[in-house]
A and B are shown apart, each in its own frame.
Chain A
Amino acid sequence: EAQVTQNPRYLITVTGKKLTVTCSQNMNHEYMSWYRQDPGLGLRQIYYSMNVEVTDKGDVPEGYKVSRKEKRNFPLILESPSPNQTSLYFCASSHPGGISYEQYFGPGTRLTVT
Chain B
Amino acid sequence: LAKTTQPISMDSYEGQEVNITCSHNNIATNDYITWYQQFPSQGPRFIIQGYKTKVTNEVASLFIPADRKSSTLSLPRVSLSDTAVYYCLVGDLGKAAGNKLTFGGGTRVLVKP
A residues neighboring B (CB under 8 Å): 4, 31, 33, 42-43, 45, 48, 50, 56, 58-59, 88, 90, 92, 94, 96-108, 110
Q: A-B contact count, CB below 8 Å?
A: 71
Give the residue of B96, B99, B104, B106 whose beta carbon is less than 8 angstroms from that of A103. Answer: B99
Number of B interface residues at 8 Å Cβ cutoff, please give it: 23
Contact of A101 among B32, B98, B104 (CB under 8 A): B32
9 interchain pairs, CB-CB under 8 A = A42-B106, A45-B100, A50-B99, A100-B46, A101-B32, A101-B34, A102-B34, A104-B46, A105-B43
Q: Classify the secondary structure of A's interface with B.
A: strand
Is B41 a contact partner of A48 (Cβ separation < 8 A)?
Answer: no
Which secondary structure dominates chain B's binding surface? loop
Answer whether A42 and B101 are a contact pair too, CB < 8 Å, given A101-B32, A101-B49: no
In contact, A33 and B100 (Cβ under 8 angstroms): yes
Contact partners of A100 in chain B: CB under 8 A: 46, 49, 93
